[in-house]
Structure 1
Amino acid sequence: MSNIIVVGCGRVGSQLANMLSDNGSNVCVIDKNAEAFANLGRNFNGSTVQGIGFDEDTLVKAGIEDCDVLAAVTQSDTANLMVTEVATHLYGVPHVIARLYNSDHERAYMQLGIDYVCGTSLVAEEVFGKTVSGHGAHLDTFGEYEVLRFSLNLKHLDRKTIRVSEMERVHDIRIVAFERADGSASSIPTGDSVLYHGDTVLACVRHELIDQFSVYIQG
């Protein structure tokens, strides 16, 4: 069972928390306003902590020391950014996701390497998909496609290399570019290009195929 912290209990946060709880996760919701927890409804099976989402005492009460995933989904980009920085750099949470409320801040999120969801609709559903699939390195969303930048994991295949054509054929995706793990080379691939375990890969993946493709993504 995953231990997940959701910071922000507005419309998006409460919907996300209920989706994760119904999926079997151990969920704790943080909000500075105790009245916001009413958004969770009577059937919510998780826990709540009143406090500031980037306050260390609040995060410890919420269980950040054993946290697998943290989602910062308040309506403040500044608050979400501070939460992600604390969770990532002070507590080493393996997967941190932030809601990007103002698209003007998208470049800053990308430069900081923050996994994020940008938009005003279906935000909870997209964060939920990221959480349960465990993938990160989100760069952008184009309709039914998601652009990901990730370190290639081939351990599940018990091999060190794979051809681009094989990955694209099996998973119906498109590999856009890659960079060698040691930084020695980068390239726009052809079908015959060989990728190595640990290479950095830029790929376009359909939303509905992310779950099956996530085995290639190193956390």
Structure 2
Amino acid sequence: MNNVIVVGCGRVGSQLANMLSDNGSNVCVIDRNADAFANLGRSFNGSTVQGVGFDEETLIKAGVEDCDVMAAVTQSDNTNLMVAEVGNRLFDVPHVIARLYNPDHERAYMQLGIDYVCGTSLVAEDVFSKIVSGHGSHLDTFGEFEVLRFSLDLTWMDRRTIRVSELERDHDIRIIAFERGDGSASSIPTRDSILYNGDSVLACVRHELIESFSKYIQD
């Protein structure tokens, strides 16, 4: 079960918090305006903390020291950027995701290496997909695609190997490169290349397919 902090309890933040809570995550929502927590509704079973999302004491109260994922989804890019920087640099949160409200700020997010979701619609769904896909697997975002690096999990299939063509065909993804689990070799694959359970894989995946593909990603 993920421990998740959601900073911002507007439409996107409240929707994301409820999605994560319904999915079994332990969720704490931070907002400077206590009235915003009404957006969560009565069915929300997480916790709330009133305060500024990049304030250290507020984050500690919200459980940042045991946090797996932090999502900064306020309507202020500057606030989201500060939350991401504090989460990354001060508390070493394994996976921090920021909402990018103004595309003009995209270069700043990219230069700082911040994982982000850009747009005004379906933002909660995109952040949710990133979280359930396994924190730490994301490398970069290109439009509607995510570049992921992960250890391949085939145990749920009761198999040790899978052909690249099978993985790409069945899941509409592209395998870019792979490295053997023991580090003995790395390669740019052909369609006939064989991947083994535990191999390190670099893949390009559509946003909307990350959740269904997450079963191949080792925790």
TM-score w.r.t. structure 2 length?
A: 0.79
Of 142, 145, 148, which residue of structure 1 is paired with 2:146?
Answer: 148
Instruction: Give me the whole-angstrom Cα distance separating, in 2, the residues matched to 1:108 and 1:180.
Output: 31
Query: What's the CA shift for 1:29?
Result: 0.7
The residue number in structure 1 matching 2:53 is 53
Instruction: Give me the whole-angstrom Cα distance separating, in 1, the residues matched to 2:131 and 2:6.
Output: 11
Query: What's the CA shift for 1:205?
Result: 3.2
The residue number in structure 1 matching 2:25 is 25
The residue number in structure 1 matching 2:206 is 205
Instruction: Give me the whole-angstrom Cα distance separating, in 1, the residues matched to 2:163 and 2:109.
Output: 31
The residue number in structure 1 matching 2:66 is 66
Instruction: Give me the whole-angstrom Cα distance separating, in 1, the residues matched to 2:91 and 2:45.
Output: 25
Instruction: Give me the whole-angstrom Cα distance separating, in 1, the residues matched to 2:45 and 2:7.
Output: 16
Instruction: Give me the whole-angstrom Cα distance separating, in 1, the residues matched to 2:218 and 2:23.
Output: 23
Q: Give the AA of the match of 2:127.
A: V
Query: What's the CA shift for 1:12?
Result: 0.8
Structure 2, unaligned runs of 5 or more: none
Does 2:180 correspond to 1:178?
A: no
Query: What's the CA shift for 1:215?
Result: 4.3
Query: What's the CA shift for 1:217?
Result: 4.4
CA shift digits 1:129-166 (9 cap, x unpaired):
22223255250343xxxx22222313545999865324
Q: How many residues align?
A: 211
Equivalence map 1:156-175=2 (5 Å): 156=154, 163-175=163-175
CA shift digits 1:182-219 (9 cap, x unpaired):
9x9886x5424567866562413361x32342244467
Structure 1, unaligned runs of 5 or more: none
2:151 counterpart SS class: coil
TM-score w.r.t. structure 1 length?
A: 0.79
Decide whether the 8 Å contact of 1:95 with 1:134 is kept in 2.
no
Instruction: Give me the whole-angstrom Cα distance separating, in 2, the residues matched to 1:169 and 1:107.
Output: 33
CA shift digits 1:74-107 (9 cap, x unpaired):
1111211111122122222222211111111223
Instruction: Give me the whole-angstrom Cα distance separating, in 2, the residues matched to 1:201 and 1:213.
Output: 13
Instruction: Give me the whole-angstrom Cα distance separating, in 2, the residues matched to 1:179 and 1:105.
Output: 32
Instruction: Give me the whole-angstrom Cα distance separating, in 2, the residues matched to 1:114 and 1:162.
Output: 32
Instruction: Give me the whole-angstrom Cα distance separating, in 2, the residues matched to 1:72 and 1:206.
Output: 18
